[in-house]
Amino acid sequence: MRMYDIIKKKRDGGTLTAEEIRFWIEGYVRGEIPDYQVSALCMAIYYRGMNASETTDLTLAIRDSGDRLDFSAIHGVRVDKHSTGGVGDKTSLVVAPIVACLGARVAKMSGRGLGHTGGTIDKLESIAGFRTDIGGEEFIRIVNENGIAIVGQTASLAPADKLLYALRDVTATVDSMPLIASSIMGKKLAADDDCIVLDVKTGSGAFMKTVEESRALAELMVEIGCRAGKKMRALITDMDRPLGAAIGNSLEVIEAIETLKGDGPADLTEVCLALATHMLVISGHGDEETCRADIRRVIENGEALATFARMVGVQGGAPAWIYDTGLFPKAAYTYTVSAPRDGYITRADAEGYGIASLLLGAGRNTKEDKIDYAAGIRLAAKTGDYVRKGDPLATLYANDERLFAPAEARLLAATEIGAELPAARPLILDIVE
């Protein structure tokens, strides 16, 4: 078998076999197939696409390129939630403890943020002492004893995906549906969960900009998961505006805690309730009405918050911070961004807001950048709100006052104010089963 023939076959619109796909994935991971040939194949896939069988075979080859986790020693139904990424998206911090305290097992591996979207691991590490580098046996023990653990992804998990993503990032082949789907699902399937709910974001702050693109991606990933024997469901949720009011690591943890207490922003609460409900439904807890009622109960009686605090303590963090968010370190400086004119906020470009937070130090441009956990943005007005000139739009947080001017300029450029109230847009745009 030759890589040349595989490239030519896909270039000419042919369908690759499982054997051909495994040949080039395994050869690339071993260093036997050079970047330039894999780049050529990725470009051929970008233009010619892949059918569902090819994409599934690619996903499984990526899954099998490194370690596959064995969670069979975890007692109970294992359920996970994966988001395609967005601005202010702290839903994992809310839904995971809710679902865990209602009996499902959440053995979750999450990633770090890069660019304008935040990572769950970075947010959790804003809590003093919190450990995300927990090994396999300890990880399983924690999940069995407490129902939940959230840790970072290991370097040996799906190494083909890391190599392919780095290559796609510099060859203009990132936005290919089969390559995106196989990247996400290759990592998910390596983690040995029974049930997976996907939160596929759509809009300016998401990778997929239209509902149609997001639906196609969701359908493809659900099909891949089902072919691999998993129970799958996908929600398509709006990311044309930031989710919640907080953008930035410790600010988002605090907002997640407020949501677990029942005092969170309405939009964040709605999305979290929907995700948690569907996670419980596909894990066999009950029908939607029963699951939603149970979710409200564990929020109201404090069980969900207690589960989160217990997870923090078991993983080396300070549970006291969960019950007293005033213990989180504060940024040295704050700055209020004011509305430049009267009118309705007709659009709050989520990507622009995420970049403004990045400029304050809350994110990374490269994997080596150091995050300022206290930096970020708290919104005072959102899409659909009426503001008068001089009203606060947002408060910026930073440990260097020089960062405020570029962040303010970026946030204002991302905020459109007009005379007409914008049409309402639902948060849950579609469900794919």
What domains lie within the chain, and their CATH numbers?
A: 3-49 (1.20.970.10), 79-323 (3.40.1030.10), 330-418 (3.90.1170.30)
177-204 residues labelled b (16+ CB within 10 A) or e (exposed): bbbbbbbbbbbbbbbbbbbbbbbbbbbb
CA distance 229 to 222: 11
Query: Residue 312 region, left (φ>0) first, then alpha (ψ -120 to 50), else beta?
Result: alpha
- 398 forms bridges with which residues in the sheet? 333
Residue indicated by tokens 């503001």 = 387
pLDDT in tens, 80-137: 998 887 888 999 999 999 999 999 999 988 776 655 556 888 899 999 999 998 887 8
Among 112, 187, 188, 201, the active-site one is 187
Active-site annotation holds for 65? no
Q: Do you know the residue count of the chain?
A: 433
Confidence of residue 51 (pLDDT cuts 50, 70, 90): very high
What integer pLDDT is reported at residue 140 of this predicted model? 93
Active-site annotation holds for 389? no
CA distance 310 to 317: 9
Among 57, 161, 194, 372, the active-site one is 161
What integer pLDDT is reported at residue 184 of this predicted model? 87
Q: Give the rounded percent of residues in the chain with a pLDDT score beyond 90.
A: 76
Active-site annotation holds for 90? no
Among 78, 82, 233, 285, the active-site one is 82
Question: Do the Cβ atoms of 398 and 372 come closer than 8 Å?
Answer: yes
pLDDT in tens, 329-356: 999 999 999 999 999 999 999 889 999 9
pLDDT at 247 exceeding the cut of 90: yes
What integer pLDDT is reported at residue 431 of this predicted model? 95
Among 81, 123, 168, 347, the active-site one is 168
pLDDT at 163 exceeding the cut of 60: yes
pLDDT at 228 exceeding the cut of 80: yes
Q: Give the rounded percent of residues in the chain with a pLDDT score beyond 70.
A: 97
What integer pLDDT is reported at residue 116 of this predicted model? 56
CA 84 centroid distance within chain: 5
Top pLDDT among 302 and 88 is at 302
pLDDT at 318 exceeding the cut of 90: yes
